Structure 1
Amino acid sequence: MIHSDVWGPCELRSISGHRWFVTFIDCFSRYIWLYLLKHKSDVFLVFKDLCALIKNQHGATIKTLRSDNGTEYINNEFGQFLASNGIEHQTTCVDTPEQNGVAERKNRHLLEVARSLMFTMNVPKFLWGEAIKTAAYLINRM
């Protein structure tokens, strides 16, 4: 099972022009795959990349995707891909982020670690994308 959530938009674009990020969290190990996004609609493209990565690198397949009811997850193209790959899509009720608690808490943890890194190193705010990726890297290794 993979938990997912999109965070953003950030009022300040990252150094590479991104305003959002999406997280995919493995339910068992809590390993994070994080992708920076220029457009919120890019979630489907990175999910397809994630499916291929998990299949090729780990010899496994995603069985269930749990997300909120965001339009980035609820559309025909995404639904057809999930159905054709046998992936069950569990969605939360509208306006209940508590039901997607794993992803919400992980995003909060990532942001807290990234803010701490940026504050400690006294770097400009437009480096938030690099700080989030570094936070994911560090959290995955703890």
Structure 2
Amino acid sequence: MTGDASLFTTLSKRNKEGYISFGNNLRGYIISIGDIGKAPYPVIKDICLVTELKHNLLSISHLADHGYGINFVKDKCTIVDSSTGSTIFEGIGIREDNIYVFYLLEDANKAGRCLMAKSVESQLWHMRLGHANMDTISRLSTKKLVRGLPDISFKKDTVCSECEKNKATKSAFKSKNAVSTTRPLQLLYMDLFGPCRIVSLGGKLYAFVIIDDFSRYTWVYFLARKNDTLSEFVTFCKKVQNEKGFMITRIRSDHGGEFENAEFKQFCDTHGYLHEFSCPRTP
């Protein structure tokens, strides 16, 4: 019996043909009966599909009635076809609470399930271990920290294409030959760096840098705290617009907290400045 309908190769629905009592006094109803397995694998017939059943169970008497012989020892149970003598199921080394666990065999000599894979190819182990460094894998092998890891020479004798692609640095952006703006203050770049290791005589730790895209003119303001950025920028906007006779159109910054906050956004929206953000990790 089983509760998994996907295991069946053939299945005929029944109208609650009996029930199975569970240990907690609940019932699971038999809703279908069918066969599991198909050639070249063994076929077990008349398997019940039971509602709410969480395990797949094989009855010894059921197998005996269908012409199978069962042999039990301490840590092994073998089921053979009585007519041919070939092994159908075999439970080896897996016994949980007096229940023997079986794995389907394709034939008497060849297992249909792979439980272990061995290889002495260093590049294959490099990929299995998440593209770890060969020196790291060599230390794991030497100190016997991974079960099944062979004691071989782990050397970087081949090039891993995945590692080359993912560890490659980004190519630089090409320089522009033409200026994209037509007047001063049309686009301003801004950034903040700090805190510096050495405090200035005026107690400043940060530098607020603003660059005009059209003229490449640069303003640098020294700040004691990061949260002074907005107040310094408000003063700068009033001063530079009066001085140059132009209005600021766009500003561009990174996603630093001193630029991306509610107060800074409200100031830009109030004065009509379009605030653009650069892509992360892209100078």
User: The TM-score by the shorter chain falls in which range?
Assistant: 0.5 to 0.7
- In 2, the alpha carbon distance for the partners of 1:27 and 1:42 equals 24
Matching of residue 51 in structure 1 with residue 232 in structure 2: no
Q: Which amino acid letter does the alignment assign opposite residue 195 of structure 2?
A: P
Root mean square deviation of aligned Cα? 0.9
Residue in structure 2 matched with residue 28 of structure 1 by the alignment: 214
Higher Rg of the two aligned structures: 2
Per the TM alignment, residue 64 of structure 1 is displaced from its structure 2 partner at its CA by: 0.4
Matching of residue 73 in structure 1 with residue 265 in structure 2: no
Q: Which amino acid letter does the alignment assign opposite residue 40 of structure 1?
A: K
| TM-score, normalization by structure 1 | 0.66
Deviation by residue 1:81-109 (Cα, 9 ceiling, x = unmatched)? 0011110011012232x2xxxxxxxxxxx
Structure 1: give runs of 5+ residues left out of the alignment.
99-142
Deviation by residue 1:29-51 (Cα, 9 ceiling, x = unmatched)? 01111100000111101110111
- In 2, the alpha carbon distance for the partners of 1:93 and 1:56 equals 32
- In 1, the alpha carbon distance for the partners of 2:216 and 2:230 equals 21
Deviation by residue 1:97-135 (Cα, 9 ceiling, x = unmatched)? x2xxxxxxxxxxxxxxxxxxxxxxxxxxxxxxxxxxxxx
Q: Which has the higher contact order (CA 8 A, sep 6+)?
A: 1
| TM-score, normalization by structure 2 | 0.34
Q: Which amino acid letter does the alignment assign opposite residue 194 of structure 2?
A: G
Q: How does 1:122-141 map to 2 (within 5 A)?
A: none
Higher helix share: 1
Match of 1:55, SS?
A: helix
Residue in structure 1 matched with residue 139 of structure 2 by the alignment: none
Residue in structure 2 matched with residue 5 of structure 1 by the alignment: 191
Higher strand share: 2
Q: How does 1:83-98 map to 2 (within 5 A)?
A: 83-96=269-282, 98=283
Per the TM alignment, residue 56 of structure 1 is displaced from its structure 2 partner at its CA by: 1.3
Structure 2: give runs of 5+ residues left out of the alignment.
1-186
Q: Which amino acid letter does the alignment assign opposite residue 277 of structure 2?
A: T
